[in-house]
Amino acid sequence: MTVAMDEARGDKAKEKAKEEAKEEAKERPKAGEWRMERSDWAAVAAATVVALAVRLWRLSSPAQVVFDEVHFGKFAGRYINGTYFFDLHPPLAKMMFAAAGRVAGYDGVFDFKEIGLEYGAAGVPYVAMRLMPAVLGALTVPMALVAARACGYGLDTAALAALLVCVENGLVTQSRLMLLDSPLVFFTALTLACWAVWWTRQGRPFSRAWWAWLAATGAAMGCAASCKWVGLFLIPTLGLSAAKDLWDKIADRSLSPVRWLAHAGARALTLLGVPAAVYVLCFWVHFAVLRRTGPDSSMMSPEFQAALDGGPRVATDRDVYYGSEIRIRSTNARSGFLHSHAHAWQHEKGSGQQQVTIYGFADPNNVWVVTPGFNATVDMSAGPVPVRSGDVLRLQHKATGKFLHSHNKRPAMAAGDDKKFELSGYGFANFSGDSNDNFVLDILHGDPAMAGSDTHVQAIYSRFRLVHANLRCAVYNSRKKLPKWAYGQTEVNCMLNCMPRMSTWHVEHAEYHPPHAAAQPADVRRAEYRPLGLWAKIWEYNKLMTDTNESLTGDHPFAARPEHWPWLRRGTAYWGGAARSIYQLGNPPIWWASLASLALFAAASAALVLLDKRGTRLRLGGQRARYQSAAGFFAVAWACHYVPFFLMGRELFLHHYFPALWMAIMVLAFSLDLATCRLPPVVRAAVYVAAAAVALHAFHTFSYITYARPWTKDACLRARWLATWDFDCEHTLGGAKATLPLPPTTTDPASVEQPPAGDNDGGEEP
């Protein structure tokens, strides 16, 4: 295959290349030069003040629950009273809200149940809680300034970037509410700003400042990833930048290989190790605070729940004998217990025999009695006989007396699959059953710490399969919801060639009532779930987050796919009140111009490479090196924070674009600098002022839906620049209707199944 990794040059070409390199070195700002000057500090101070004013104005309005405050306010309350919950986002940002609430005196009682609930009456310190994201959001503005300065741009360009971030309506909307995206954008911006400053310290590697900025980058990155997983996109962003740096460094033969490895190792440590440590630390705090059991606990494994205070303490007899009454739990899914009740299968191709299902809640119908196999006898005269792996046995349903049974009938939810068989309860009075009641209990693995649990069935410690003796199918948890006539419980059937994952079961509760005193076991051993350690908890929680994320396919009316984000096809309705509403829409000129500047960068980069290869080297007015490195870095960062969303099948929203937007705005400012660098200063200033004016004008136009200010219908209709922007103009001053119906929130990941009302299984725990 042809190798085209670099263009080749003759001697002349080499000389020329050296000259060019010299010229470029002149262009490039010398490393290690940059320090914050007094004017910079003044600009930072001014930007912070202005940004704070923009974010804090009317912060208390509306005094109602807005959009996803429903979730994050509620979670803050859970932290404050220590009740366990599950959410699909990592904990840091939520804990910050909880801390803000705690400081301001929120007691965790108000439950943020739905959008539109009044804060005032409940005495919730919501302003203080909103203050936290507002301040963080305001700080992204000076960070844009610092990042631009550190990239070698003048104060004018840096100030323009800061201003554009400051008046971006979407970022403003986002940071004035209790939402996770403001902390996320803050930590993302902080990471990039630290990284930019660190680059200016490259002249003195391994110095204290060098280490400090590098470590700060890693820590900020860890915080971003601990707010939302979107922060993980910083890894490829900085990874690519670091790889480019190392690629340049290795060409430097004055740098010894050991030294180069030290450079690589330092980056790996700080950009992977430090964030990982921060992430783990956040979870450590999360689990330390949420120590009491709560409504979401049932989503976790029994071992996980055992580590929570106040949870169900499962303690049971350890040994299982013939005659033991047992409850059997599906091991690898949170579906519940093997269950039966006195209702018949009603599906076509079914047998009409008694239903066998999986039921998630405690119920006397979950109890089965271990019975010897059909036509087999077990001699129990000499004492209780333990159940061993490989035994053929029957499971008799205690409440109805039926035996667990399978036969060549199709199950309810897989009527067309001839590899799956129905499970039923079968048997009558004075009828001893048949061989289709026989199941082989096959222990897959025991608990290595519990001797004998891999040969003899022990509650909790032995993980086994139930294999039908005739059909050779295994009892399988299909995780499908049965129809109403089976009370929406979970289907269980018998599957041929079944993988162990969903056909693994364990006994969660066993008790043995000896038929006579002589049959009393010698010693009664007890078993209980062993509480998980920190690592296992983090692993389980993160795995559940992944699964929840993947299965998040709701039909929220304001969900938006990534191809619609950059050109701002549509916003998201957050809240509606009397003649006022909050509709998260960006500042359109900023969005469109930043998208255009990214397109320009891509086109320019391709053109520069292609022209270089044919020997035409454009210098872009002496700005090429800076434009390519600085705008290139932020453009790559933008791509890393935008393109991966196309691969995600889950429900997505406009606010997923905000980290990328911050980066796009930087590219926009740098592109304006490039476009005006050769113009007379006055013209350049005029262009900058014009750009700022356009942004400010648009900010003002859409500030009504940003700050929930009363808006006239005319102004509203005039502001609908695109037909796809569906903020409601009927509910404005002079509009047809008075108040806006409240929009829905995003999906609540922790919607827990409650015992269905229709199942007349009820009854007390035996």
Partner 1 sequence: MNAREKTAVFYDQGGSGRPPFAGLRLPHKAGGGGSGGFGAYPAADREPARRLGREPGEWPIVAALTVLSLVTRLYRIGRRNNVSWDEAHFGKFGAYYLNRTFYHDVHPPLAKMLVGLSELLAGHNGTFGFKGGHTYPPYVNYTFMRAFNAGFGIALTPLAYLTCRYLRMPREFAAMAALFVTLDNALCVMSRFILLDAPLLAFTALALAMLARFHRARGVPFSAEWWRRLLLVGLALGLVASAKWVGLFAVALVGFYTLAELFEMYCDRRLVPSAYAKHWAARVVALIVVPLCVYALCFKVHFAVLNRYHSSASFMPVGFQTRLRGSPLARQPYDIQTGSIVRLQSRLPGTGYLHSHPHRYPTGSMGQQITGYSYADPNNKWNIQRRAAAGSFAAPADVLATAPAIGGPIGHGDIIALHHNATNSFLHASTGYEAPVSALYREVSAVAADSAEAQARGVLWIVEITGAEPRMSDGRLHPLGTPFRLRSAHGDCTLVSTGERLDKNWGWGQAEIACDPKSGGEGTLWAVERHINSELEPANVGRLMSSSFLRDLAAVNRQMWLTNNALIPDRDKHNVLESGPESWPFMVYPMRMVGWDDSSIKYLEVGNPLLWWGSATLCLLFPAQLLYWLLSWRRRALRWSAGQMREYLEGALMLWGGWALHYLPFFLMGRVTYLHHYLPALYFGILFLAYQIYHTASWYLHPRSARRVLCAAVGLVACVFWWFSPLTYGWDKPIRDLRGMQWAESWPVYEDKFAL
Binding residues for partner 1, rule: CB under 8 A, are 1-8, 247, 250-251, 253, 347, 415, 419, 467, 472-474, 476, 478, 483, 495-503, 610, 613-615
From the CA atom positions of the chain, what is the Rg in Å? 33
Provide the phi-psi class of 323: left if phi over 0, else alpha when psi is between -120 and 50, else beta. Answer: left
Q: Which residue has the tokens 């937007």?
A: 661
Cα angle: 709, vertex 714, 719; to 5 degrees: 70
Q: State the burial class of residue 529 (Cβ atoms within 10 Å of its Cβ: 0-12, 13-18, 19+).
A: buried
Q: Nearer Cβ to partner 1, position 292 or 334?
A: 334
Q: Nearer Cβ to partner 1, position 89 or 410?
A: 410
Q: Nearer Cβ to partner 1, position 386 or 500?
A: 500
Q: Shortest Cβ distance from residue 488 to partner 1 (Å)?
A: 12
The count of other CB atoms within 10 Å of the CB of residue 687 is 15
Q: Shortest Cβ distance from residue 440 to partner 1 (Å)?
A: 9
> How many CA atoms are closer than 13 Å to the CA of 59, on its beta-carbon side?
24
Beta bridge partners of 493: 476
Q: Shortest Cβ distance from residue 712 to partner 1 (Å)?
A: 33
Q: State the burial class of residue 26 (Cβ atoms within 10 Å of its Cβ: 0-12, 13-18, 19+).
A: exposed
Q: Which of 674, 589, 635, 692 is nearest to 154 (CA)?
A: 674
Q: Shortest Cβ distance from residue 34 to partner 1 (Å)?
A: 28
Residues 6+ apart with CB under 8 A from 281: none
Q: Shortest Cβ distance from residue 412 to partner 1 (Å)?
A: 9
- For residue 311, the SS3 value is coil
Q: Nearer Cβ to partner 1, position 13 or 690?
A: 13
CA 522, chain centre distance (Å): 51
Alpha carbons 169 and 701: distance in angstroms, whole number = 10
Q: Nearer Cβ to partner 1, position 498 or 639?
A: 498
Q: Nearer Cβ to partner 1, position 477 or 747?
A: 477
Report the b/e string of 633-665 with b at 16+ CB within 10 A.
bbbbbbbbbbeebeeeeebbbbbbbbbbbbbbb
Q: Shortest Cβ distance from residue 250 to partner 1 (Å)?
A: 5
Query: 160: which 2 tokens?
Result: 């323009």
- For residue 367, the SS3 value is strand
Query: 2: which 2 tokens?
Result: 């042809």
Contact 186, 137 (CB under 8 A): yes
Alpha carbons 160 and 593: distance in angstroms, whole number = 13
Q: Nearer Cβ to partner 1, position 240 or 696?
A: 240
Query: 603: which 2 tokens?
Result: 């086109």
Q: Shortest Cβ distance from residue 235 to partner 1 (Å)?
A: 19
Q: Nearer Cβ to partner 1, position 107 or 245?
A: 245
Residues 6+ apart with CB under 8 A from 671: 597, 600, 601, 627, 631
CA 450, chain centre distance (Å): 36
Q: Nearer Cβ to partner 1, position 543 or 700?
A: 543
Q: Shortest Cβ distance from residue 467 to partner 1 (Å)?
A: 6
Q: Nearer Cβ to partner 1, position 30 or 501?
A: 501
Strand pairing category for 490-495 and 474-481: antiparallel
Q: Nearer Cβ to partner 1, position 238 or 498?
A: 498
Q: Nearer Cβ to partner 1, position 219 or 474?
A: 474
Helix (H) or strand (E) holding 276: helix 274-289
Contact 67, 743 (CB under 8 A): yes
Q: Nearer Cβ to partner 1, position 380 or 415?
A: 415
The count of other CB atoms within 10 Å of the CB of residue 540 is 15
Measured CA to CA in angstroms, residue 642 lies from 608, 646, 661 at distances of: 24, 8, 9
Alpha carbons 311 and 297: distance in angstroms, whole number = 8
Q: CA 561, 564, 568, 571 torsion: positive or negative?
A: negative
Measured CA to CA in angstroms, residue 277 lies from 91, 326, 536 at distances of: 14, 43, 16
Contact 458, 441 (CB under 8 A): no
Q: Which of 400, 406, 395, 360 is nearest to 759 (CA)?
A: 360
Q: Shortest Cβ distance from residue 497 to partner 1 (Å)?
A: 5
Cα angle: 263, vertex 266, 267; to 5 degrees: 90
Q: Nearer Cβ to partner 1, position 146 or 467?
A: 467
DSSP 8-state secondary structure symbol assigned to residue 412: T
Q: Shortest Cβ distance from residue 499 to partner 1 (Å)?
A: 5
Furthest-apart CA pair in the chain: how many Å? 106
Q: Nearer Cβ to partner 1, position 291 or 613?
A: 613
Q: Nearer Cβ to partner 1, position 203 or 483?
A: 483
Q: Nearer Cβ to partner 1, position 610 or 693?
A: 610
Alpha carbons 609 and 607: distance in angstroms, whole number = 5
